[in-house]
Chain A
Amino acid sequence: MSTIQPTQLDGSPIVELPLSALLQPATDIAKAAGIDTVRQVGLYRKGDSHFFFEFENHVPQGELRALFPAMELEELLAEGWEYLAVELHLSVQKVTFGLRGKYFREPVPLEFNFTLTQGPSGYVKDQISITDLRIDETENTTFKDIMEIRLKSGDPKYAGSNDVYGALPIQRIVKILNRFVRDWTVSHRIIERH
Chain B
Amino acid sequence: MTVLRSPRDGSYVEREAKVPLHELPNWGNPLVSNTGAPFQVRVSVGAKARSFIRFSKIPTIPVEFPIPEIEAERYSMDGWDHLAITLQMEKDTVSLDLQGGFGRDENALIVRAQLVRNVLGETKQDVVTVEKDGAPLQPTSVFDLLQVRTKSGDPRYARFSDEYPKLDVEGIAAMITRYVKELRGA
Given A63-B62, A63-B63, A66-B58, CB of A53 within 8 Å of CB of B69: no
B54 within 8 A of A: yes
Residues of chain B with a CB closer than 8 A to A64's CB: 62-64
Cβ contact within 8 Å between B62 and A42: no
Given A11-B61, A64-B62, A66-B59, CB of A50 within 8 Å of CB of B54: yes
B55 within 8 A of A: yes
Residues of chain B with a CB closer than 8 A to A59's CB: 51, 67-69
Q: In the docked arrangement, what's the CA distance between A11 and B62, Å?
A: 8
Given A50-B55, A55-B67, A60-B67, CB of A66 within 8 Å of CB of B60: yes
Cβ contact within 8 Å between A55 and B54: no
Q: How large is the interface on B (under 10, 10 to 19, 20 to 34, 35 or more residues)?
A: 10 to 19
Complex interface residues of chain B between 53 and 84 (CB less than 8 A to chain A): 53-64, 67-69
B143 within 8 A of A: no
Residues of chain B with a CB closer than 8 A to A12's CB: 60
Nearest CB of chain A from residue B4's CB, rounded to whole Å: 20
B184 within 8 A of A: no
Complex interface residues of chain A between 48 and 90 (CB less than 8 A to chain B): 49-56, 59-60, 63-66, 68
User: 24 A-B contacts, Cβ less than 8 Å apart?
Assistant: A11-B59, A11-B62, A13-B58, A49-B56, A49-B57, A50-B54, A50-B56, A51-B55, A51-B59, A52-B52, A52-B53, A52-B54, A52-B55, A53-B63, A55-B52, A56-B49, A59-B67, A59-B68, A60-B67, A63-B62, A64-B64, A65-B62, A66-B59, A68-B58
Given A49-B56, A63-B64; 10 other pairs, CB 8 A cutoff: A11-B59, A11-B60, A50-B55, A51-B56, A52-B54, A54-B50, A56-B49, A60-B67, A66-B59, A66-B63
Q: Which 8 A-B pairs have the closest CB atoms?
A: A59-B67, A64-B63, A54-B52, A55-B51, A63-B62, A53-B53, A11-B60, A51-B55
